[in-house]
Amino acid sequence: MSQSNLAVQGNLSQGYLSQLENDEVQNPSASVIFHLAQALHVDPRILMEAAGYADTARPEDGEYEVTVDPELMRFLASYPREQQSSLLRLLRGFERRPASARNGAPQRRGRVRAV
């Protein structure tokens, strides 16, 4: 990923990202770190630790579990935040549907009788 792409996806200026890379920024905010982690598809604790934040919980085996498919993350990252929010609302709507509808079972519909 190029510096300019990372800057766009991380909601940072390319100049600020360059300063981070050259150790010209001593204490990046947690918000900056979380934006970068999201853009890079990495666990934010890795970047928090690298930035010197203490007390970042690390699993005992040294590995992080990623519960979201990286391909899905890349796909979503390619859309602007507003569209991501719309997709999230749509997906949450699927959660509210009855289990029978989510599993592909036909839904019963009432009959309309002609009068």
Residues 64-100 have pLDDT tens digits of 555 667 777 777 777 787 887 888 888 888 877 666 6
This prediction's pTM: 0.48
Q: How confident is the model at residue 15 (pLDDT cuts 50, 70, 90)?
A: very high
Q: What letter represents residue 102's amino acid?
A: R
Terminal Cα distance for the chain, rounded:
65
Q: Is the pLDDT of residue 45 over 80?
A: yes
**Least trusted range by pLDDT, from 1-5, 72-76, 86-90, 107-111:** 107-111
Q: Estimate to the nearest angstrom the gap between the alpha carbon of 32 and the chain centroid.
A: 14
| pLDDT band (50, 70, 90) for residue 62 | low
